[in-house]
Structure 1
Amino acid sequence: MRIIESDSQAKHLQEWLGSGVDEEIFHLNVKSLFGTLPYEYLLYSPKISRRNDGRLRDRDLKKYQHIELGGWWCSGIDPLNNYVSMMWGCFKPDHPRRDRQKIHKFIKYEHPFREETRAFFLLVPNRIWVKVSNRSGIPITEEDLQHPGGFWHWIWRHNVPVTIVEGVKKAGALLTAGYAAIAIPGVNAGYRTPTDEYGTAIGKPYLIPDLKHFATQGRQVNICFDQDNKPETVQRVNKKGVGGRVLGVVRRRWTELGTPPNAIVVKRRGLCPDGCWGCFFPHTLHPTPYTRPNGAGQNSYQSHGTAAGK
């Protein structure tokens, strides 16, 4: 199959734009890969078994051969390593492989093999930074602008409210709308539980280092996951989602009517004049109070506790 790079990148760009993501955010964080290049992004871990000549094992080459047909790769910056580009990220193949555990499903996203999952901190242009500043009411100083860590150091330093979402495109959409969004690859990816060699829990769950770094005293943390009517999914999110209990207290939020946050941004369905599309954020995130027409949607969210650390 012949892959034309420009066509592939144009398709990937349209996918992100269709999710409500600013074009410049896309270009700062996403790249189109094909051929053997995706292997360098997904199979770099020293924990991967290799042949004596350093070549990947045939079983792994066969498992990942679909990535040669192309896809997009996304990673942000690493707040735990002087804000340099993060090596970890995700790859969405144009032709995904089947899930061996659920043969009727495909594995939509690939992450670096045998590496622990992390969180996404997307690069943003200064105009998006200003948008987040205006929405949160927290100014940007000259010192903030000069710091190598830029936007995410400002978020950390000034306890700017953050929203945790599942999926990097949703983070891109909310950043576009002016919210400081951190993405994780799954609802349970925000924490880890110590286990023994048999997989039995032997300790209390703890936040992954990326989220712990932002779990500072007094910061407001919002969790915004997609609605799901499956009882097992609802129970899993309520009990373990992102590590909310470990984080301290978090505001947990389902998006309305099962609609993902990026879809809400695109459809502009919200009633809030502040432009939060769906009003799934608490009132405290708005710079000014607001009311909704005829009281619509007044009970669209429930508060579960106070800000993190309190």
Structure 2
Amino acid sequence: MSAATIEYPNNLTAAEYHEMTVGSAIHPALVERNFFHIEGETIYDYLFISNKIPRKNAGRATDKYIKMYQHLLLGGTWIQSLDPFKNWQPMEWGRIKPNFPRIDWQKGKPVKYESPPKTPNRVTYFDVATPIWDKVAKRYLIKRYHSLLALRLLDQLNPLIFWEWIKQHPEIPIILCEGEKKASCLLSLGFVAIALPGIWNGRVGKQDLDERLHPDLVPMAQAGRKFIILFDYETSSKTRWSVFQATVRTAKAIESAGCECEVALLPGPEKGVDDFVVARGEDANTILTAIIDDAKSLADYQRSYRAKKWGLSKYKPDVTINIKYLSEALCIPELEEKCLRVPELYDLEKEQLFTPSIKGHPPNKESTDSGGVDSSKSKKSPTFNFPKSGLVVLWSDMGTGKTELMRWWRDQNPNARFLNNGHRVNLLKNLALRLRTAMYSDLGYTGLAQAQALSITIDSLHKLNTQSLTY
């Protein structure tokens, strides 16, 4: 069948459909229920829903508003949301992703999404199809019954609405992220996600006065419910500070509503979670699951942000590097060729390091040619060796290769006793596979006593407090 004869759902163009299903890894069932192509003057019916918009006698919006949104006449994608206060019927409020966005001249950036003007922002609950529902149930080990009798009985008690089912299961965490494509990408993997139109839209009110959880999120705020905030990966210090403030204030509003809140952090370099999933391909589900399982508490998130911004106040590092992957700076014999490509990180004549040790030659400052070029530029960069005793603190951001470094150490010391300690069972299971250790939950007392390499949670460390176990 030729591309010209393919019909996409909801009048979506080929480019719009491809952007969502391929560019953002959104399941086609979600696209079919929630994304619609609109163009022409119809767009005004979707946008101008507020009574506060000035209008002419005939009821048409004034020319100012018509001109402001005339770029939408060329078409865009309408993203629909369900209303938690109207029995999960489609909201009147929604957002348009224009095919040809206008430029915000104050910010100097295109406006990627348009919301109805003069209307309070709401959050987006997607209409979730059965295949996605089943993925969520499978991820959180909740049995769903699909027999005709079971479906009839459930229909009599409660209509089969995904979000009502989520309300009945407060043990399922809900992820809050900025943007509809990101939330629908997470749903496509079996996570429960709600889209915020902006990082500040998970809460309403003024700080220290009446700040509280956004009303649209209150129906999901059952006692014991955990919310996980997952915003974009940012490189600008100014943007990171804004994200930090919005995250903390949203988290406090969630906790004030009687729920738990954690913060998950993307390692980068991809900005949004949908870009992250597309870039990781088949490994995306496993990696993202580990990232979400390793989400930080609000207190840990605040501490980590301050530490990253201002550094450790008490202990100064022996070596500080600024490089993408640790393996490029912490040179090891198996990575000899990679080490040759590493730029000089510090002047060895000025460094006096005790732990860890540095091997290498001091730079030769004598010129070997008439051009006065430093011959040390062509010399091998110094190598960085782990000490054989003592305590080594390795502080590095997510995605910089800490686990790969530990796996190399395990390969070099296969007979050494190795204890991998963590705080999340699911994360430890993933690390146990990568570091090739036994998982404590799979072993009995005898197995714990015999294990040479073990992954165990902090809460279970007391099981190792026996005479037969020494680490």
- Category of TM-score, reference length = shorter chain: 0.7 to 0.9
**Aligned-partner Cα distance in 2 for 1:77–1:286:** 32
**Aligned-partner Cα distance in 2 for 1:245–1:239:** 11
Look up the match of 1:254. 265
After TM superposition, give the deviation of residue 278 of structure 1 in Å: 6.7
* SS, match of residue 127 in structure 1: helix
* SS, match of residue 39 in structure 1: helix
What is the percent sequence identity of the aligned residues?
31
Amino acid at match of 2:111: I
- Answering whether residue 94 of structure 2 is matched by residue 89 of structure 1, we say yes
Look up the match of 1:34. 39
> 1:262-277 maps to which residues of 2 (within 5 A)?
262-268=274-280, 275-277=286-288
Provide, for residues 7-60 of structure 1, a one-character-per-residue CA deviation record: whole Å limited to 9, x for no partner: 852221111012000011101001000001111111111111111221110111
- Answering whether residue 289 of structure 2 is matched by residue 148 of structure 1, we say no
Selected match of 2:236 from 230, 233, 236: 230
**Aligned-partner Cα distance in 1 for 2:24–2:140:** 23
After TM superposition, give the deviation of residue 101 of structure 1 in Å: 1.8
Selected match of 2:131 from 127, 131, 137: 127
Q: Give the structure-2-normalised TM-score.
A: 0.56
**Aligned-partner Cα distance in 2 for 1:289–1:217:** 28
* SS, match of residue 257 in structure 1: coil
> Which is further off, 28-37 or 201-210?
201-210
Look up the match of 1:293. 434
Stretches of structure 1 that go unaligned for 5 or more consecutive residues are 195-200, 296-310
After TM superposition, give the deviation of residue 179 of structure 1 in Å: 0.4
- Answering whether residue 153 of structure 2 is matched by residue 13 of structure 1, we say no
Conserved? CA contact 2:268–2:276, under 8 Å? no
Conserved? CA contact 1:136–1:161, under 8 Å? no
* SS, match of residue 165 in structure 1: strand
**Aligned-partner Cα distance in 1 for 2:122–2:69:** 21
After TM superposition, give the deviation of residue 139 of structure 1 in Å: 2.9
Look up the match of 2:339. none
Q: Which has the higher contact order (CA 8 A, sep 6+)?
A: 1
Conserved? CA contact 1:271–1:293, under 8 Å? no
Conserved? CA contact 1:264–1:278, under 8 Å? no
Amino acid at match of 1:290: N
**Shift >4 Å, 4+ stretches:** 5-8, 141-145, 269-272, 283-288
After TM superposition, give the deviation of residue 290 of structure 1 in Å: 3.1
* SS, match of residue 225 in structure 1: coil
Stretches of structure 2 that go unaligned for 5 or more consecutive residues are 1-6, 295-423, 437-471
* SS, match of residue 268 in structure 2: helix
**Aligned-partner Cα distance in 1 for 2:54–2:169:** 43
Task: Please say which structure displays the higher CA radius of gyration.
Answer: 2
Look up the match of 2:364. none
Q: Which has the higher helix share?
A: 2
Amino acid at match of 1:222: I
Look up the match of 1:54. 59
Look up the match of 2:213. 207
After TM superposition, give the deviation of residue 265 of structure 1 in Å: 2.0
Amino acid at match of 1:122: F
**Aligned-partner Cα distance in 1 for 2:425–2:175:** 10
Say what the alpha-carbon RMSD is for the aligned residues.
Answer: 2.6
Look up the match of 1:76. 81
Provide, for residues 221-264 of structure 1, a one-character-per-residue CA deviation record: whole Å limited to 9, x for no partner: 11111111222222222222271111014111221114221122
Amino acid at match of 1:45: S
Say if 1:98 and 1:285 are closer, same or farther in 2 by CA, change over 3 A.
farther
Amino acid at match of 1:238: F
Conserved? CA contact 1:171–1:183, under 8 Å? yes
Look up the match of 1:175. 187
Q: Give the structure-1-normalised TM-score.
A: 0.83
Conserved? CA contact 2:80–2:90, under 8 Å? yes
**Aligned-partner Cα distance in 2 for 1:182–1:145:** 25
